[in-house]
Amino acid sequence: MAEHITIYTDGACRGNPGPGGWGAVLKHAEKEKTLYGGEEATTNNRMELTAVIRALECLKGNKWPIEITTDSKYVLQGITEWIEGWKRKGWRNASKKPVMNADLWMQLDELVQQFEINWHWVKGHSGHPGNEQADELANRGIDEL
């Protein structure tokens, strides 16, 4: 494959809502960068979205294709299937209710416009090395609150 950046993301929450954390692993050639953080009162879905947002924010000006792997079907389906409909409907869902986490979806939407991204899903806690590393980072984000 041509030169690219690989990103693995994960979010975690102890209680939902509760204290949460997010983690991201960015890889390019032989280089690796890890990011993580946490919030006192949040949800798992917010942490999943935050992980992707924080990873992409680090790549401003990047021209290489990006491969993002997440264990969140919410993030994957939201960004690849649902978001265009939400935008057409004024950030309302199929039930005409406000989209949950619209603030983060809007940030993510703005960021993804800047990149060529291929999205991938992996089952969480299944031994996938990149996902397991992102999960460890997300939990560290909670532990260090």
Catalytic residue among 10, 20, 37, 132: 10
> Is residue 125 annotated as part of the catalytic site, yes or no?
yes
Q: Name residue, tokens 């692993």.
A: 25
Instruction: Give me Rg for the CA atoms of the chain.
Output: 15
Whether 37 is a known active-site residue: answer: no
Long-range contacts of 96-102 (CB under 8 A, 24+ apart): 100/45, 101/43, 101/45, 101/46, 101/49
Can 21 be counted among the known catalytic residues? no
143 is an active site residue: no
Catalytic residue among 103, 116, 120, 125: 125
Looking at 37, 39, 48, 78, which residue is catalytic?
Answer: 48
71 classed as catalytic: yes
Nearest alpha carbon to residue 47 among 142, 143, 145: 142
CB 67 within 8 A of CB 118: yes
- The residue annotated as part of the active site, out of 20, 38, 39, 71, is 71
Of the candidates 23, 38, 135, 141, the residue annotated as catalytic is: 135
Active-site residue list: 10-11, 48, 71, 125, 135
